[in-house]
Amino acid sequence: MKEINVGVIGFGTVGAGAVKLLSDNAGDIRRRAGGEIRIKRIADLDTATDRGIGFDLSDILTADAYELINDPDIQIIVET
C-alpha cells in the first residue's frame, strides 16, 4: 500500500482539528484513498503550545513553512 505524505501549514484550531480528523479516520481514508495518510510535517510559528491532539508531534513540527513546500516527499500540502 502506498504512503501519501501530507504537510500542514498552520496549526491553530483548524489545523489541529484537521490533523486530529486525519488521525481519527485513518482507516476509512486508507480504504478510500488507496494509501496510508502520513502527516510528515506541520509548520506553525508557535511550535511550543500543546494542541491537545493526544500524541507527540514535536519531531515533525517546524516554524519554517518552506521546509514543507520544498520537501519532494510531501504530495499534499494543507494550508489552514
Give the mean pLDDT per block of 10 residues along the chain (80 residues): 92 94 92 92 93 87 97 96
* pLDDT at residue 74, as a whole number: 98
What's the angle, vertex CA 73, arms to CA 48 and CA 61, rounded to 5? 0
Q: Structurally, how many domains does the chain consist of?
A: 1
User: What is the rounded distance in angstroms from the CA atom of residue 46 to the CA atom of residue 72?
Assistant: 24
Q: Per the domain annotation, does 38 fall within a domain?
A: yes
Query: Residue 53's pLDDT is what?
Result: 86
Give the global pTM.
Answer: 0.89
The one-letter code for the residue type at 33 is A
Phi/psi of residue 13, each to 5°?
-60, -50
Q: Determine, yes or no, domain membership for 52.
A: yes
Nearest to 77 by CA among 9, 22, 1: 9
In a domain, 27, yes or no: yes
Give me the pLDDT at residue 46, please. Answer: 93
In a domain, 47, yes or no: yes
